[in-house]
Structure 1
């Protein structure tokens, strides 16, 4: 089968380890099955893998990719949940299993004509969603869904800040939060991305680091060091920061004095469960809300998509079709 593989890792030149070519077809072990991939979505996780983060040299070569939608062995249209874990080990939540992994970390990923996954990791694809739209859900939209609806614990009409307007998680947060009735502020250095954020439903989009005209009930921050101080200062007393990443670094000043004096909450969130993936797919099908897709490329041109993501030239998701 044709696949996109991490053949080498290099933290300074990650794309140098990217290779396209033939790989053996996957074999499904006991309790697993194979999916014929129709569409797969690119994530920052794939760039980090090429840098060697979470992907040691002894596991190379590794087929990259976490997200996919396709056809299972019984001919059903399905979405692949990329968290490989045991719900029982995590108290009913596979993302809390200490041994969990994502596809492309221990097991070959989705940037291929076929992928092998545990049977329980498949959820039905609603007919209302295209394969390209469905492929955007398992990482970015699932992460945003859990942050917004489980972790933030907001009432409709709340004020929220999304740090960074362009990425897949953030564009999903803007769209879902505005649809849920929240007043959404978004930040970006780029006026073009601020305009796109407003088009997605943001009440206002401001320059990164700019003071908001009002305090937020919750801030969604996956940037980390570059935005942390602004996130803390943007919250009302008792507000919450929900974080799912730290793309600019994870060691900013914690501003603990402000955190305890204003009784702020810092809440971590990682991915979501299989059941939550099923719900986010149904949410999109019923509401008509769809993932923002930056571009669709054939899998053979995957390197172009990787280059665009590494350069930050993205708004929404990059999708590969097979």
Structure 2
């Protein structure tokens, strides 16, 4: 089968470590299922893997990809949950000390087939395409959970740092659909315009003073936006952190945190049950992920290069079948 593989790692030139090659069809352990992948989507995790973050030389080669949707061996349309827990774990999937993501300990979804634990497949309802479903398990699930942890209820205001990535566009769409007021920031005037078209109530330049203090900030950028995130919060507000693409913040500004009673909450992805709820929400509301482009698996490098350059608005979807 054809697969996108991290054959080695390169901290400075991650795309040089990518290969699209033929791989043996995966075997199916007891309690696992085979899924024919109809669509997968790209995440920054794929770039970090190619850079060697979270992967050791002895783990290689490994098939990339955390997100996918397809058909199982019983012919059922499914979405793949990318968090693999240890056998017998019964708590929050994201808190299992032994958890891993697809493409770390186990081969991922950027292939014609993927094998996952049986509990890691979620039914895909009619009307939700494989392309849209493939965007959900990482970026959209992360956004869904961020909003749940934000403390901003219906009518509350959230500020989304960055307007173009998969998590950011999901936050705008889901925030609007669930009755929150959503503001975004972006260096790109074009991305600010597109965020407004998507449903954002306001779009600001980076560092621009917000019209009023917000209930919560959705933070995935890190160093470049951290100070602005804390300054934008009302007393008692919450910053939800799910990434740091520009690097870790050099100062936590703890005086501001304790003096204003701010909450800092970390999260990543979500549980299998939360993914099932998210799928149901999209089925009920008609909200769909923004797709920047759809590529055949052979051209996956194009999508990763665009992601590395910050050129995307929404998700890159890959079709292993072409």
Give the TM-score of the pair, scaled to structure 1: 0.98
Contact 2:151 2:238 in 1 (8 A): no
Q: Which runs of 5+ in 2 are unaligned?
A: none
Structure 1 residues 5-16: aligned runs within 5 Å: 5-16=5-16
Contact 1:10 1:50 in 2 (8 A): yes
CA positional deviation for 1:251: 3.5
CA positional deviation for 1:196: 0.8
Structure 1 residues 150-299: aligned runs within 5 Å: 151-299=149-297
* Cα separation, 2, equivalents of 1:262 and 1:88: 41
* Cα separation, 1, equivalents of 2:145 and 2:297: 29
Could you say what secondary structure the match of 2:230 adopts?
Answer: helix
* Cα separation, 1, equivalents of 2:172 and 2:88: 33
Deviation track 1:156-199 (CA, whole Å, cap 9, x = no partner) reads 11111000001101100011111222211100000000001101
Could you say what secondary structure the match of 1:171 adopts?
Answer: helix
Q: Which runs of 4+ in 1 moved over 3 A?
A: 86-89
What residue is the counterpart of 1:4 in the other structure?
Answer: 4
- 1:106 corresponds to 2:102: no
Deviation track 1:269-305 (CA, whole Å, cap 9, x = no partner) reads 1110001101101100110100000000111111111
Q: Which runs of 5+ in 1 are unaligned?
A: none
Deviation track 1:240-261 (CA, whole Å, cap 9, x = no partner) reads 0000111111142111111111
What residue is the counterpart of 1:50 in the other structure?
Answer: 50
Could you say what secondary structure the match of 1:199 adopts?
Answer: helix
CA positional deviation for 1:87: 8.0
* Cα separation, 2, equivalents of 1:320 and 1:78: 16
* Cα separation, 2, equivalents of 1:55 and 1:67: 18
Larger mean Cα displacement after TM superposition, 249-258 or 35-44:
249-258
* Cα separation, 1, equivalents of 2:232 and 2:175: 17
Could you say what secondary structure the match of 1:37 adopts?
Answer: strand
* Cα separation, 1, equivalents of 2:179 and 2:87: 32
Structure 1 residues 15-54: aligned runs within 5 Å: 15-54=15-54
CA positional deviation for 1:205: 0.4
* Cα separation, 2, equivalents of 1:118 and 1:41: 20
What residue is the counterpart of 1:117 in the other structure?
Answer: 116
CA positional deviation for 1:153: 2.5
Contact 1:65 1:111 in 2 (8 A): yes
Deviation track 1:78-123 (CA, whole Å, cap 9, x = no partner) reads 000000004854x521111001000000100001000010001000
CA positional deviation for 1:35: 0.4
Deviation track 1:122-177 (CA, whole Å, cap 9, x = no partner) reads 0001111110000000000001001112x113221111100000110110001111
Could you say what secondary structure the match of 1:126 adopts?
Answer: coil
Contact 1:85 1:101 in 2 (8 A): yes
Give the TM-score of the pair, scaled to structure 2: 0.98
- Give the alignment's Cα RMSD to 1 decimal: 1.0
Could you say what secondary structure the match of 1:270 adopts?
Answer: coil
Deviation track 1:40-85 (CA, whole Å, cap 9, x = no partner) reads 0000000000000011111111100000000001110000000000
Could you say what secondary structure the match of 2:38 adopts?
Answer: strand
Q: How many residues align?
A: 320
Larger mean Cα displacement after TM superposition, 10-19 or 245-254:
245-254
